[in-house]
Amino acid sequence: MSQDHLDARRRQILDGARSCFARHGYEGATVRRLEEATGLSRGAIFHHFRDKESLFLALAEDDVLRMTEVVAQQGLVQVMRELLSTRPAADGEALNPADWLGTRLEVSRRLRTDPEFRARWAERSEQLTVATRERLTRQREAGNLRDDVDVHVLTAFLELVLEGLVSHLAMGLPADDMDPVLDLVEETVRRHRRSP
C-alpha cells in the first residue's frame, strides 16, 4: 500500500473513532462499535494502532495538534469559537463540536482517574500551552497585547476559559449566546490604547 493510502486509512480510523468515543465514551467504545464507526475490521484498525488506548491517545493528540495549529495562527479564543460551530476549521475540515467535546470530556475524565494516562498526556497537552504562550508573546511584541499582566498569567486565564466553556457545553447549557462572551475574553487580553 502507498503512504497516501495508509495515511487516508489512518484518518478514516481516527474520524470514525472520534464519533464512537464521543457517543459511547472510552469504556463503551467496544471493538465492535469501533468497527461499525470506522467501517473497517478490527485487524485493519489495530494494524494502525496497537490497542484501544493507543487509538484514543492518537485521537486526543490529533485534536491537540489541530488546536495548536489554530492557536498559532489565530489564538486560543478561535479554538473556542470553532468548538461552538461547525464552520470549517483552520485546515478546511469541518469540526463536529459534539465529537470534539466528547473526546475532550473523556480526556478530562481519564486525567482525573488514570495516573498512567495523566503521565502520558502531560507532554502532549503542553504543546497547546506552548503554542498559546508563543502566540501571546508575538501579539505583545506587535503591541496588540496588554503589557501589565505576565504572558504566563494570560495563558492560564485563556486555558481556564476554555475549560469553563467545555464544562458549560458538557452541562448542556446553550452555546448560541457565547460569541459576545468570547469577544469579551479577547478584549480582556488586548492592549487598550489610551486616547490623547
Question: What is the grid cell recorded at 15?
Answer: 474520524
Q: Count CB neighbours of 186 within 10 A.
A: 15
pTM of the entire predicted model: 0.79
Nearest to 153 by CA among 139, 127, 132: 132
**Cβ proximity of 148 and 85 under 8 Å:** no
pLDDT interval class at 97 (50, 70, 90): low
Tens-place pLDDT, residues 127-161: 889 999 999 999 999 999 999 999 999 999 999 99
**Rounded to whole angstroms, how far apart are CA atoms 191 and 189?**
7
User: Is pLDDT of 94 > 50?
Assistant: no
Dihedral sign of CA atoms 188, 104, 109, 166 in order: positive
pLDDT tens sequence across 14-44: 999 988 988 888 889 999 999 999 999 999 9
Task: Quick: pLDDT tens for 10-21.
Answer: 999 999 998 898
142: which DSSP letter? T
Question: In this structure, how many other beta carbons lie within 10 angstroms of the beta carbon of residue 26?
Answer: 18
Grid coordinates representing 176 are 448560541
Does pLDDT of 106 surpass 50?
Answer: yes
